[in-house]
Structure 1
Amino acid sequence: MRSNRKTILGISGLVLLIVVMGLGLMLVRQKQNVEIEARFSELNLVVANVTDTSVSLWWKTDKPESGCLVARVFPQGEEKRVCDKERKITHLVEVGGLVAETRYSLKVKTETRELTLNPYLGAWVSTRLTLPGGQPRWGNGQVADVKGVPVVGATVFMSPNLSDRMYFPVAAMTDDSGYYQLDLAKLDFQYPGEFNEYFVEVVDYQGRKLIEMTMEKDTVAPFPVVTVSLGEP
């Protein structure tokens, strides 16, 4: 009887452990899905354009401010700083001269506050491998409103349209004619595998989402004009 009782208790404990582990995995998966499904416009900081020697950071603030991107070899190594002195709500700043396959912590210092990466994404970002013979693969297009007027100062984000995990996008701001240019080769190092579409999100100069859409991977540049409705200022 004692042996049977121990066996029953052992099985009960194992079942309970499996249930707890299953719940834990489900919670982790839910948390990952929250990160994967988050749109770039919903974040205050977005890491983009990662290469072996450079990385870009997009950020937004509540009011127009200047700011600096600070990249430091993780955890307490050499620091590089690039500043955007123009006072505005959204910024896209690139820091170069980094070392390949190296971890960097990234933060932004504005006039009033300090912004750091979302802790769910980790405390650091690693530059990629140096890929021999890697060539840029430029894609360009234009953002305009429904009347055909160019949208100036908008940020265009593009990443593989996959839901398995979150990818660092490529990003660029539109110029005075509403044009943007992206190096799609900067997505290759993340080894996204087979995918058919790019996820595209356009955010205005105030950090408000204008549109999110998909674009066929085989679309030949220049891309079709992205038409957005600006709504009320």
Structure 2
Amino acid sequence: MIRAGRAQTKAPMAQHYDLQEQEQLATIKHFWQRWGTLLSTVVVLLFAAFAGFNGYQYWKARQSGAAAVLFDQVQLATVQNQRDAALQSLDVLQKSYGKTVQAGQASLLAGKYLADQQDWAAAAQAFEWVRANAGDPGFKALAALHQSAVQIEQQQWDAALATLDGYAFPAEFRGLKEDRRGDVLQQQGKTEQAIAAYNAAYEALDAWSPYRVVVESKLNALGQQPKARPAGAAGA
């Protein structure tokens, strides 16, 4: 009887949480009622962002892979001198995968091939596409240089200067730009301006650049020596 009584007194106590547990549960319940919807939304958004990022990376990889195949087709067609095949693959690449690096590379490659074939109009179109659509500043600079060369071949002197002066070349390309400007100005009979452009090219090119010798020879042909750099300018 005594044991039964003790058992009966313990059973009701086991059915109740202590005061601290009740306070914790009440706090959690209040917090969830106030912030639960917001937290759920944040979690859903985080998962959506993560899934979207992974999806974008997958899509980007597929784009790059398809563009690489088309680039190889353009390259092979130029090597095999298959003009129509090269232009067909290039057209698909530009229209369907125009934001990829391969589109800019293929356009430069095709433009140079077309210029070698003296297909000036098609070459200029390829280089103009790069200038208008490529995301890489270096690609744009190369396209402007090549396009000016095409214009020089056609003796379009003013157009060549406009092409060179119409783009803010990155620093590493400014020596080549000024050298090309010197070529155009010399063809126009503007010798003093050509000398100034060649000097600017010489200054802009790194001291170890082999092309510096080419610029120096152009100045020598005009009876000039490259101007010495001002004190403290070296390495600037």
Larger Rg, first or second structure (1 or 2): 2
The interval holding the TM-score normalised by the smaller chain is under 0.3
TM normalised by structure 1 equals: 0.27
TM normalised by structure 2 equals: 0.27
Q: Which has the higher strand share?
A: 1
Q: Which has the higher helix share?
A: 2
